Chains A and B, each alone.
Chain A
Amino acid sequence: GGIITQTPKFLIGQEGQKLTLKCQQNFNHDTMYWYRQDSGKGLRLIYYSITENDLQKGDLSEGYDASREKKSSFSLTVTSAQKNEMAVFLCASIDWGGPETLYFGSGTRLTVL
């Protein structure tokens, strides 16, 4: 089996700060996703990457950048942290040509002071 590792688990930043969240997967999956989950709400898609050299905006991409450094890693940058961005950020990966099971990391909880 594989695993998705998100670092850090907890991230505390100042308003206006640029912050980077990292995600690594060892499933050898082509496709990776970043979601934001606010407390008591659903998951909103920020960015996704179908293959290693692909990068696509989701429904909530404004205020974020993403980078697919290599097949196994997908980073998300909060370009200027805002107080209303406190949420859990979840990374996920899937093999659409295979079992089509989406696996999630355990999340990064962002707090903006």
Chain B
Amino acid sequence: SAVISQKPSRDICQRGTSLTIQCQVDSQVTMMFWYRQQPGQSLTLIATANQGSEATYESGFVIDKFPISRPNLTFSTLTVSNMSPEDSSIYLCSVRRDVSYEQYFGPGTRLTVT
């Protein structure tokens, strides 16, 4: 398995501001992902963040809005920039094991934008 922690666990932010979410994994992993879960919805992949390369964004998500850093094999950050109420969601960090492809999720960051 993998133990994943996220900070902050929740936050209430004003529109127009930015929030950086941290994700820490207890072991080295190549593949890390960021997902968004809007209220009452399923999970949507924002981007793939592999160490040593630029993050790859899914359709509908752009780097200027969701910049990602991946400085090493156990840590990543996601920034939600220039926030609006539509950004109110749970943001989840995820890792995938290199051999088995089993994927694990962090506890999530519950963001409310007012």
**B and A form one assembly:** no
